[in-house]
Amino acid sequence: MTVRTGELLTTGEAAVLLGSSRQHVVDLCKRGLLPYVKAGTHRRLRRADVEAVLRPELTRDQLKALWLHRAVAGRLVTDPDGVLSKVRANLDRLRQVHRDGMAAMWLDRWQATLDDGVEAVLDALTSRVPHAVELRQNSPFAGVLPETERRAVLAAFVARWREEHAA
Report the C-alpha gap between 91 and 114 in whole angstroms.
10
pLDDT band at 6 (very low <50, low <70, confident <90, very high): low
Q: Which runs of E-coded beta strand occur in 27-156?
A: 37-39, 42-46
pLDDT of residue 146: 96
Tally of CB atoms within 10 A around 110: 24
Residues in the chain: 167
Q: What is the pLDDT of residue 56?
A: 66
Query: With b meaning 16 or more CB within 10 Å and e meaning fewer, what string describes 124-143?
Result: bbbbbbbbbbebbebbbbee
Number of C-beta neighbours around residue 57 at 10 A? 8
Per-residue pLDDT tens over the stretch 29-86: 888 778 899 989 999 998 888 887 777 678 999 999 999 999 999 999 999 999 999 9
Query: Do 107 and 94 form a contact (C-beta atoms < 8 A)?
Result: yes
Answer whether residue 4 shows pLDDT above 50.
no
Average pLDDT over residues 131-140: 90
**pLDDT value at residue 1:** 42
